[in-house]
Amino acid sequence: MTGPPTTTQARTRAERLRQELREEIVTAAFEEFSQRGYHDTGIADIAQRLGIGHGTFYRHFKNKRDILDHVVDGLLARILEALAAENAPDAVDTLDEYVEQCRRISGALSEIFSADPRVARMLLLEATSIDAELTERVLGLFDTATALTAAYFMHGRELGYLRADLDVDGTARAVVGVILANLLQGLRTPADREAQRRTADAGLRLMFDGIARR
């Protein structure tokens, strides 16, 4: 039932192909950057990976720095989306619910970082060494995570299922460090999902119970 292609369809198709290529370039750039590193990757490497001329790259991205921004933006968006999806400090009213919430967040992050160790490599190792602006963006992610965590803490302290003397901000930072430990674990043993799970569990347990015997 497809009639002859109308102008609108044609434009849509061209637009779609264009968009697809853009995304392929972002993906290829991510792969190259996370493997060889930003500085050791040439535009030609990215283009060659896709089998396109390297001039084509510049039809879609302003310059090398520009594609890096898009790569990082995509990763940050995925992470923020995952955090936002699980974000509901107000919906958590008991310690058990919060534990469960933390597990979900932990699981959502694992979904991203354990599934592809290159994500952590890209964000933690590469993106933090290009320039101040990009470093700021990545470290800003930690600030966001800290703020999110602090919101939960505040809520829990008010409702009384967290320590009354909890230093909300400082502890939130420490907990983001625990998350960082998980990312590092993913970098160190990319294939060992079990080790990653155990580190995540130990981190959660540390959060809630500390290490001391009761």
135 binds, among DNA, a second copy, none (CB under 5 to 8 A by kind): a second copy
CB of 184 to DNA, least distance (A): 28
Query: Closer CB to a second copy, residue 26 or residue 171?
Result: 171
Binding mask 47-86 for a second copy (x = CB under 8 A): ----------------------------------------
Closest CA to 147 of 84, 99, 93, 73: 84
Asked if 189 contacts 114 with a C-beta cutoff of 8 angstroms, the reply is: no
- Residue 43's alpha-carbon distances to 46, 61, 180, in angstroms, are 5, 11, 31
Q: Rule CB under 8 A: choose which of 21, 74, 178, 190 binds a second copy.
A: 178
φ/ψ of residue 61, rounded to 5: -135, 145
Tokens of 41: 């990757």
Q: How far apart are CA 140 and CA 183, in angstroms?
A: 16
Q: Which residues bind a second copy (CB under 8 A)?
A: 37-39, 95, 124-126, 128-131, 135, 139, 142-143, 153, 156, 160-164, 166-167, 169-171, 173-182, 184-185, 187-188, 198-199, 201-203, 205-214
